[in-house]
Structure 1
């Protein structure tokens, strides 16, 4: 009883409860019964729709203000309500408040208002902002809004907010450009790194290599690899695996193995599952599936732990060389390890069992397929039935309408 009395007697807490509750009720009422434009001044609506709460003389703390904005049901009201807040004498901006507003506006896909707010923040300069704040804004522009140019502008505009970016934020923008295949812009941004007072790191050079490999410029990627010691950086496994993938995609698998030797002998780096997956896949795609299977045996001897991707690539190799009995055993091995073969794997192995008339193996594969949530298509059912009943010549069975097309 004493606790309840002392808690409820705090006038400031009671005021905030009434303030936030009344504000949200009025905002909701305005949404449903009035034609309110968020860009219009709030004063016009304060007599009927909006209580004049933000003109109240009692001071509001930062947590109270942030809770009001977090509780807004319609994010479009965030900016006009913020403009009302800035007129209060106790207005004290913070990074948390700005982040809450920006995330609310992003939720409403109101990216123009985010730009307006960012300009207002630049003019105010009333609080220091962190690199994480700007990275969030850059991410919203790049991923949610698709405004890549605004991401770049925000990065290079950070010093005007009295905040210098970290190399991680710079790399985030570079990777954003590579993922959106804006390869020419990547080099323009990279060339301006000195404007931000940043030093290049391994991750930055890896992103450049990734971009060059994706557009087929393997020789240029090799030149970037040679730049590592000049930039006082050391290449890592990701550096080499990226170039290996580019070589395999351009039918230069033997060069990828030469690079593997360089990575192990000259750089002293240990090979991981991603590297082996890349090489096994490269061999298989070039009709060298037997070599891919042999490479997997070497992986196991080296003590390198394969991942689900490794097992899947080896399974494809076994299917490609029509070693279906071994493929069945390998699938059982995968299942025992909690790795589910892909739908394509089941489809191909079932086709192989049908071609060799292995009815028992076919039944096993079909049961495993259904158990893992895959549904055979009509073409697969026809193959299966033709294998079990050779006299079947395309007749319509009663269950056909239930098995899909």
Structure 2
């Protein structure tokens, strides 16, 4: 009791001190400042500006700035909107010597601030200065920003064909980047135009370029033209690779021409090009969509005999085939095999297996699958429990 009284007394004394402090502050300033969110935001911006001004202090001195010191200034800028003004200030100095590293940082800062028009102004500056050598890596990065970040694929194409004006010729890597960008955007007509411009850029067409064109033709369901393009490989001094054939097989399977896909696979092997896991997965998926589950399981075993090891997608395709064929007991046994080989079924697989086993009143199997599912870290949903309980209390269970 005495201890409790002491604690109350201390609390009362502490409250008096706080009240006194508040009373004193009111006397000193009867109009206390109320801090709003805009004030906090303004303070934060001011703090960033102060930090930037502090970092820009070397620009006010006549001391010689090394290229690394200039890079350090730009890296430290917290306000992206100040990039252009700082670039203008630095360009007025006698020690100004632009290089690729400087312009890379400038463009990345502007891209982060979504100042894409300013990036175009920087490119004009580079062209006018004519004293900065740029590499293919610089333009590769720039084209990714223009096409993928800004969504200006037309500017990406313009940059590709303008590279020689900067004293830099594109590599196949950058040329293929633009081709792939156009295929992903489904601008198939423009893909062909860019492809025909390869000689102007000094780009030697390789398997990567032709593979992208085949991918584009397959995506617009022009299979005849895609197969005709296979004849271009020897003309360009290159050979089709596994990616070439896999793309064509995928398109054949998507169009229900699975047997033709297998014939193409055999042709590929005769030409000395071995299928990989992706190739087998495409064929297994094609068989699944036609309900040829047993053939899919055989192909899974055959690929291992060829020294090509299946991945989780390989097993999952076979499992979905069993489930769509309503072979739920076989699916349960196949899931056991998957787990023994270190591959784990998806939540959807467990859900479909339990649903199927419940419909067949195989509650003993349901119990085993449920335990396995929980052991893999999945939590059964309410609908699943409801279905299991309904079967348990309906009688006629096995």
Instruction: Report TM bin, short chain.
Output: 0.7 to 0.9
Deviates more, 1:114-123 or 1:158-167: 114-123
The 1:227–1:318 alpha-carbon spacing in structure 2 relative to 1, beyond 3 Å, is: same
Could you tell me how far 1:321 is from its partner in structure 2?
2.9
Q: Kindly tell me: are residues 222 and 371 of structure 1, through their superposed partners in 2, closer, same or farther at Cα, counting changes over 3 Å?
A: same
Q: Which residue of 1 aligns with 2:273?
A: 269
Higher-helix-fraction structure: 2
Task: Identify the range of structure 1 (354-363 vs 189-198) with the bigger mean alpha-carbon deviation.
Answer: 354-363
Distance of 2:334 and 2:266 partners within structure 1:
29
Q: Is 1:353 aligned to residue 357 of structure 2?
A: yes
Pairing 1:323–2:327 present: yes
Task: Note if 1:176 corresponds to 2:181.
Answer: yes
Match of 1:77 among 79, 82, 89: 82
Distance 1:222 1:53, change over 3 A: same
1:278-312 per-residue CA deviation (whole Å, 9 max, x = no partner) reads: 01101111222222122222223323211111111
Q: How many residues align?
A: 353
1:300 paired with 2:304, answer yes
Structure 1 pair 139–156 and aligned structure 2 pair: CA distance change class (3 A): same
In the other structure, the counterpart of 2:104 is 99
For residue 35 of structure 1, report the CA deviation from its aligned partner: 11
CA drift of 1:168 comes to 0.8
1:131–1:163 CA contact under 8 A, matched in 2: yes
Any stretches of 5+ residues in structure 2 without a counterpart?
1-41
Structure 1 residue 52 displacement after superposition:
6.5
Report the equivalent of 1:234.
Answer: 239
Provide the C-alpha distance between the structure 2 equivalents of 1:237 and 1:34, rounded to a whole number of angstroms.
53
**TM-score when normalising by structure 2:** 0.83
Cα separation, partners in 2 of 1:29 and 1:272, compared to 1, 3 Å = same
Unaligned runs of 5+ residues in structure 1 are: 1-27, 37-41, 392-405
Distance in 1 (CA, whole Å) between partners of 2:149 and 2:353 is 41
Which 10-residue stretch deviates more, 357-366 or 113-122? 357-366
Bigger Cα Rg: 2
- Matched position secondary structure for 2:335: helix
Q: CA deviation at 1:157?
A: 0.6
Aligned-pair Cα RMSD in Å? 2.4
Give the deviation of 1:388 after TM superposition: 2.5
1:31 and 2:45 are equivalent in the alignment: yes
Shift of 1:72: 1.2
* Post-superposition CA distance 1:334-378 (Å, at most 9, x none): 223332212221221111211222223223323333444444444
Quote the Cα distance in structure 1 between the aligned partners of 2:252 and 2:390.
Answer: 43
**Distance across 1 between alignment mates of 2:327 and 2:44:** 70
What is the alpha-carbon distance in structure 1 between the residues aligned to residue 266 and residue 154 of structure 2? 41
Q: Distance in 2 between matches of 1:50 and 1:244?
A: 58
* Structure 2 match to 1:119: 124
Distance 1:296 1:366 in 2: 26
**Structure 1 match to 2:394:** 390
Q: Distance in 1 between matches of 2:229 and 2:68?
A: 49
User: TM-score under structure 1 normalisation?
Assistant: 0.82
Partner of 1:21: none
Equivalent pair of 1:289/1:320 in contact (CA under 8 Å): no
Per-residue deviation, 1:251: 1.0
CA contact (8 A) 2:328 2:357 kept: yes
Asked if 2 retains the 8 angstrom alpha-carbon contact of 1:293 and 1:317, the reply is no
| Structure 1 residue aligned with 2:172 | 167
CA distance in structure 2 between the aligned counterparts of 1:338 and 1:81, rounded to whole angstroms: 56
192, 199, 210: which is aligned to 1:194?
199
Structure 2 residue aligned with 1:284: 288
Q: Are the structure 2 counterparts of residues 199 and 51 from structure 1 closer, same or farther at C-alpha, using a change threshold of 3 Å?
A: closer
Structure 1 residues 139-178: aligned runs within 5 Å: 139-178=144-183
